[in-house]
Amino acid sequence: MGERNKRKNIINQKIVLLNRAVFCYRMNPSADGWACGSVVEHVPDKNGVEGSIPSTPTMLLEIKENELLKNHSSFKIGGAARYFVVAKSKEEIIEAIKFAKGKNLPYFVFGGGSNILFRDEGFEGVAIKIGNCPSAGGLKIENSSVNVGAGVLFSQLIIKSIDAGFIGFEWGVGIPGTVGGGVAGNCGAYGHSISENVESVSVLDEAGSAGWRIKKYSNKECEFCYRGSRFKNLGNAEVILEIEFKLAKAPPAGGKEKSKEEIKNILLNRRRKIPSHPSIGSIFKNIVIGGLRNKNEFLKLIPQEKIKTGKFPAAYLIEQCGLKGMNIGGAQISDLHANFIVNIGEGRAADVLELIKICKQKVREKFNIDLEEEIVVLPR
């Protein structure tokens, strides 16, 4: 009876909403204890704004309107999303998606925004950002396994794994963004990629009339490839929740100090090569030599010594086309690293896309090679 009385008290409570739109969501219990239910939208009235709390346990999910996406991008470029949500748990991710579907709007889910070019016109839908907290961003280390929420920054994972006595992620120091985004795009540097240490990936998947479920993929099932995975494929609506990594233990004598020294050297090297202006990292994938149809013809045009781990730098091709330093509006092909386009002030997505088009055209004309973007452009 005590629990019933508590619920009755909750039913009779009122909440005063803020001046901006705030949406209250009813949570319906399910077999696994967390699946979410219907959406209740509270609209301010002339008297100031009240709404009844539903009879089942409630959470508030703040949804912003007309939020500038450039504020959530390392490029500092992008128009406004009609609706914007920071989802801090799997429950909030589900409710944000349900909100989008309830309004018959498209949606996309993203992490740190460090590899995404948001278009100038923004997004007439719901942008859902994975927050760095508990069920969307925790970090737990047990034995040789490191379980990481999708919202954890890659830099945090590197630091905490080294502090816990593990090695294997030193190469990734300086790479921005979240672990979830890094896994989706199979980020990498210095001949390594994040997939090398992935044991499994847990995702949120909508299973039709059966509701929502959590699926776990093994490394092989993730279909990792150079700068890609099944999760980066157009049309894949699965949302990465958590990643399990397997890491090696550092040698007991001086292992941690060696890792920190390696990190220091990598950071110094990156500062010499990576531009300081806002960017979203490498625009194009490097050329995988083994996958070329015109391999022999291409090899005659390039210096062989620049081939590393079977790949040739796209930056060299762009530079050889005389494009280094070229700018359109506030966007520039970096004069420090030709595979970076930087925002030198008030850059627009249209400027960036035009530079990308020019790079692809000139490289095709000179080397008969089609450059492939590493970045993601949203909306697609």
Report, as residue numbers or ranges, the catalytic residues. 227, 282, 374
Bridge partners of residue 200, in order along the sequence: 218, 244
φ and ψ at residue 43, rounded to 5 degrees: -110, 130
Which residue matches tokens 């047990």?
A: 142
The DSSP bridge partners found for residue 31 are: none
Q: What sign does the CA torsion over 144, 150, 156, 158 have?
A: positive
Q: Are residues 116 and 110 in contact, defined by beta-carbon separation less than 8 angstroms? A: yes
Closest CA to 73 of 136, 124, 134, 122: 122
Angle of the 154-163 helix axis to the 255-273 helix axis, nearest 10: 150
Q: Cα–Cα distance between 127 and 134 in angstroms, integer?
A: 20
d(CA 259, CA 182): 21
Phi and psi of 254, rounded to 5°? Answer: 75, 10
* C-alpha gyration radius of the chain: 23
Q: How far apart are CA 325 and CA 243, in angstroms?
A: 39
User: Residues for the chain: how many in total?
Assistant: 380
| 69 φ, ψ (degrees, to nearest 5) | -70, -20
- Where do we find the tokens 């504020």? 71
Instruction: In whole angstroms, give the CA distance from residue 178 to residue 113.
Output: 9
Burial classification of residue 212, based on how many CB atoms lie within 10 Å of its CB (0-12 exposed, 13-18 middle, 19 or more buried):
buried
Bridge partners (DSSP) listed for residue 260: none
Q: Which tokens is 36 given? A: 């979410």
b/e sequence 326-350, b meaning 16+ C-beta within 10 Å: bbbbbbbbbeebbbbbbbbeebbbe
